[in-house]
């Protein structure tokens, strides 16, 4: 049972739904004059958040995905990032909004931001569901943020540990004994 590995729920399904609706409204208003709006999801963690978010944005938009792997341990990234799957189409001239599940050190997103920025989008911004500001190693402007959280390792709503728990409806704190040996 997945639930036996969970210490407690940190953000409920209802809180997530309300926050995603708020973010969707703000994004809809900010991008209403864009005629080339592209949301770029970071695989795989952002998939659940992004699929809910796009249905709260009342504008024409396109989606694309990028998969990156950051070398490091399973709970900590090293900042050395490799592109596993690049975007299908060019971002040149587009208003790009990067959608990420969680920002920890900021190294992964900062790397992606710089790569996409070098490809000459009309604009580029960042939307993240969760942020652990206490762990930040590089400066990063987050334009749209769901929740700031303390330094817990969390799973659910797209976030995983060792590939598991993505299908939980709430954001949950994992029992430490699951990832500490």
Question: Which residues of this protein are in contact with ligand XMP, per CB under 6 A?
Answer: 45, 70, 77, 100-109, 153-155, 159-161
Select the span of 39-47, 55-63, 70-78, 172-180 touching Mg ion (CB under 5 A).
Answer: 39-47
User: Of these residues, 52, 95, 101, 104, which one is catalytic?
Assistant: 104
50 binds, among Mg ion, ligand XMP, none (CB under 5 to 8 A by kind): none
Strands (E), the chain: 6-11, 37-43, 62-73, 76-85, 95-103, 123-131, 144-148, 154-155, 171-174
* Residue 3, strand partner residues: none
Smallest distance, Mg ion to C-beta of residue 101, A: 5
- Rounded CA-CA distance 148/58 in Å is 26
Which of 24, 41, 45, 106 contacts Mg ion by CB under 5 A?
A: 45
Residue 95 annotated among the catalytic residues of the structure = no
Select the span of 14-22, 25-33, 98-106, 122-130 touching Mg ion (CB under 5 A).
Answer: 98-106
Work out the number of other CB atoms within 10 angstroms of the CB of residue 36: 17
What is the side-by-side strand order in the sheet with 76-85?
76-85, 62-73, 37-43, 95-103, 123-131, 144-148
Q: Which is nearer to ligand XMP, 23 or 168 (CB)?
A: 168
Residues assigned a catalytic role: 104
């Amino acid at each position: 049972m997945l639930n036996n590995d969970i210490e407690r729920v940190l953000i409920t399904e209802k809180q997530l739904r309300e926050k995603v609706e708020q973010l969707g409204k703000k994004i809809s208003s900010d991008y209403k004059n864009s005629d080339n709006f592209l949301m770029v999801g970071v695989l795989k963690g952002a998939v659940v958040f992004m699929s809910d978010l796009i249905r709260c944005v009342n504008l024409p938009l396109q989606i694309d995905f990028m998969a990156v792997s950051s070398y490091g341990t399973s709970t900590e990234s090293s900042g050395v990032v490799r592109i596993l799957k690049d975007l299908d189409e060019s971002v040149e001239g587009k208003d790009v909004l990067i959608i990420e599940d969680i920002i920890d050190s900021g190294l992964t997103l900062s790397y992606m931001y710089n790569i996409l920025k070098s490809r000459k989008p009309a604009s580029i911004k960042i939307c993240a569901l969760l942020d652990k500001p206490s762990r930040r190693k590089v400066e990063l402007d987050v334009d749209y943020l769901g929740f700031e959280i303390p330094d817990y390792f969390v799973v659910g709503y797209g976030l995983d540990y060792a590939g598991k728990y993505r299908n939980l409806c709430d954001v949950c704190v994992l029992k430490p004994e699951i990832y500490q040996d």
